[in-house]
Amino acid sequence: MDKLQEVRENEQLRTLLMTECDIYFYDKISEVQFSGNNEEYSLACKAFAQDGSGGEYVFL
């Protein structure tokens, strides 16, 4: 089981990460949401979480 799956299955850990670190985990891995703002990525990436300021956590 990978670490992301462990986090998804542990509601207490997800709640702690949301309240203490302001990290929200997506229900599923998705396209980067802000790629419509003319950013250019040198590597293809998929997002799995977002922080309170709108930054995304991605797999590279």
Tens-digit pLDDT profile for residues 4-60: 889 889 999 999 999 999 999 998 998 887 655 666 667 778 889 999 888 888 887
pLDDT confidence of residue 51: 92
pLDDT confidence of residue 35: 56
**Domains held by the chain: number:** 1
H helices, E strands: number in the chain: 2, 3
Q: What torsion, rounded to 10 degrees, do the Cα atoms 16, 20, 45, 4 define?
A: -20
Asked whether residue 1 carries a pLDDT value surpassing 60, the answer given is no
Domain encompassing residue 37: 3-59
pLDDT confidence of residue 41: 67
pLDDT confidence of residue 17: 93
Output 1 or 13, whichever has higher pLDDT: 13
